[in-house]
Amino acid sequence: MRVQLFATCLIDTFYPETGEAVVKLLKHMGVEVAFPREQTCCGKPPNSGGHAKQARKAAEHFISVFKGSDPVVIPSGSCASMVKNHYPEMFHDNHRMFQAATELASRTFELSQFLVHVLHAHEQGFVGNRKITYHASCQLTRELGVREEPIQLIRSIEGAEFCPMPSADRCCGFGGVFMAKLPEVSMALADEKLDTILESGADTVTGCDHGCLMNISDAVKRRGVSVDVKHLAVILAEGLK
Amino acid sequence: MNKNQAPVSFKSNAANALNNPSLRTAMRNITSTFGKKRVDAIGDNPFEEWRERASEIRMDVLNNIGEYVDMFSKNATKAGAVVHRAKDSSIACDIVASLLKDYGADKVVKSKSMISEEIHLNAYLEKEGIKVVETDLGEYIIQIAGETPSHIIVPAIHKSRQQVGQLFCEKLGCEFTDDPTTLTKTAKKILREEFITAPAAISGSNFAIAETGSISLVTNEGNGRMVTTLPPLHIAITAIEKILPKLSDLALFLRLLPRSATGQVLTSYFSLITGVRKEADSTGAKHLHIVLLDNGRSEIVKSDCKEILKCIRCGACMNVCPVYGMIGGHAYDSTYPGPMGVILSAVLNGLERAHPLLDASTLCGACSDVCPVKVPLAKLINRLREIKVENGLAPELESIGMWGFGAAAKHPKLFELGQKAANAAWPIARLLDKQTVDRLPKPVPVSFKRRVL
Ligand code: SF4
Q: Which residues of A touch B436 (CB under 8 A)?
A: 179-180, 183
Residue B255 beta carbon below 6 angstroms from any ligand 1 atom: no
Residue B1 has a pLDDT of 43
State the Cα–Cα distance between residues A216 and A184, nearest whole angstrom.
14
Q: Write down which residue in B298, B318, B339 finishes a domain.
A: B298
Maximal CA-CA distance, chain B: 88
Q: Are residues B290 and B205 in the same domain?
A: yes
Q: Are residues B443 and B369 in the same domain?
A: no
Q: Are residues B270 and B258 in the same domain?
A: yes
Ligand 1 atom nearest B370 alpha carbon: 3
* Domain region containing B417: 403-452
Considering the entire predicted model, what is its pTM? Answer: 0.95
Residue of B52, B244, B256, B260 with the most ligand 1 atoms within 8 Å of its CB, for mutation: B260
pLDDT digits (tens, 9 = 90+) for A39-63: 999 999 999 999 999 999 999 999 9
State the Cα–Cα distance between residues B305 and B241, nearest whole angstrom.
13
Residue B373 beta carbon below 6 angstroms from any ligand 1 atom: yes
Exposure letters A164-202 (e unless 16+ CB within 10 A, then b): ebeebbbbbbbbbbbbbbbbbbbbbbbbbbbebbbebeb
State the Cα–Cα distance between residues B18 and B24, nearest whole angstrom.
7
Check: CB of residue B366 under 8 Å from CB of residue B322. Answer: yes
User: Is A38 in Cβ contact with B387 (below 8 Å)?
Assistant: no
Check: CB of residue B186 under 8 Å from CB of residue B140. Answer: no
Q: Are residues B262 and B154 in the same domain?
A: yes
ipTM of the complex: 0.96
Domains located in chain A, CATH noted:
2-115 (no CATH), 122-238 (3.40.50)
Q: Are residues B136 and B224 in the same domain?
A: yes
R_g over Cα of chain A: 17
Q: Are residues B188 and B314 in the same domain?
A: no
Q: Write down which residue in B253, B272, B298 finishes a domain.
A: B298
Check: CB of residue A80 under 8 Å from CB of residue A3. Answer: no
- The answer to whether residue A143 neighbours chain B at the CB level (below 8 Å) is yes
Q: Are residues B420 and B387 in the same domain?
A: no
For A3-24, give the DSSP string. EEE---HHHHHT-HHHHHHHHH
Q: Write down which residue in B298, B315, B349 finishes a domain.
A: B298
Residue B306 has a pLDDT of 98
Best residue in A32, A54, A194 for a mutation probing chain B (most B CBs within 10 Å)? A54
Q: Which residues on neighbouring strands pair with residue B291, listed in sequence order?
A: B84, B237
State the Cα–Cα distance between residues A232 and A210, nearest whole angstrom.
10
Count of CA atoms in the C-beta half-sphere (13 A) of A76:
25
| Residues 6 or more apart whose Cβ sits within 8 Å of residue A114 | A3, A71, A73
Q: Is the pLDDT of residue A73 over 50?
A: yes
Residue type, B205: S
* Residue of A52, A61, A173 with shortest CB distance to B322: A173
Exposure letters A132-157 (e unless 16+ CB within 10 A, then b): bbbbbbbbbbbbbebeebbbebbbbb
pLDDT digits (tens, 9 = 90+) for A74-121: 999 999 999 999 999 999 999 999 999 999 999 999 999 999 999 999
CA angle at A62 for the pair A61 and A63, rounded to the nearest 5°: 90
Q: Are residues B110 and B200 in the same domain?
A: yes
State the Cα–Cα distance between residues A132 and A205, nearest whole angstrom.
6
Q: Are residues B334 and B243 in the same domain?
A: no
Nearest to B221 by CA among B161, B169, B264: B264
Could you count the other beta carbons within 10 Å of the beta carbon of residue B369?
16
Residue B376 beta carbon below 6 angstroms from any ligand 1 atom: no
Own/partner long-range contacts of B180-187 (Cβ < 8 Å, ≥24 apart): B184/B137, B187/B137, B187/B140, B187/B141
DSSP 8-state code for residue B362 = -
Nearest to B118 by CA among B358, B297, B302, B355: B297
Q: What percent of chain A has pLDDT over 90?
A: 99
Q: Are residues B205 and B279 in the same domain?
A: yes
CA-to-CA dists, residue B50 to A68, B57, B64, B216, B272, angstroms: 41, 11, 21, 20, 22
Residue A126 has a pLDDT of 98
Beta pairing, strands A72-74 & A32-34: unpaired
Residue range A140-159: mean pLDDT, rounded: 98
State the Cα–Cα distance between residues A8 and A168, nearest whole angstrom.
23
Residue B341 beta carbon below 6 angstroms from any ligand 1 atom: no
Identify the CATH number of the domain in which residue B71 sits: 3.40.50.10420
Q: Are residues B292 and B320 in the same domain?
A: no
Residue B315 beta carbon below 6 angstroms from any ligand 1 atom: yes
SS3 of residue A183 by DSSP: helix
- The answer to whether residue A88 neighbours chain B at the CB level (below 8 Å) is no
DSSP 8-state code for residue B213 = T
Regions in chain B scoring below 70 on pLDDT:
1-4
State the Cα–Cα distance between residues B210 and B215, nearest whole angstrom.
9
Residue ranges of A 209-228 with Cβ closer than 8 A to chain B: 214-215, 217-218
Identify the CATH number of the domain in which residue B382 sits: 1.10.1060
Q: Is the pLDDT of residue A172 over 80?
A: yes
Residue B31 has a pLDDT of 75
DSSP 8-state code for residue B309 = G
Beta pairing, strands A108-110 & A157-158: unpaired
Q: Closest residue of B to A60, CA-based? A: B410
Residue B2 has a pLDDT of 47
Count of CA atoms in the C-beta half-sphere (13 A) of A15:
25
CA-to-CA dists, residue B91 to A47, B241, B312, B349, angstroms: 40, 18, 24, 16
Q: Are residues B39 and B54 in the same domain?
A: no
| Residues 6 or more apart whose Cβ sits within 8 Å of residue B302 | none
For chain B, what is the domain count? 3
DSSP 8-state code for residue B241 = G
Residue B429 has a pLDDT of 80
Task: Name which residue sits closest to atom 8 of ligand 1, judged by CA.
Answer: B314
Check: CB of residue B151 under 8 Å from CB of residue B341. Answer: no
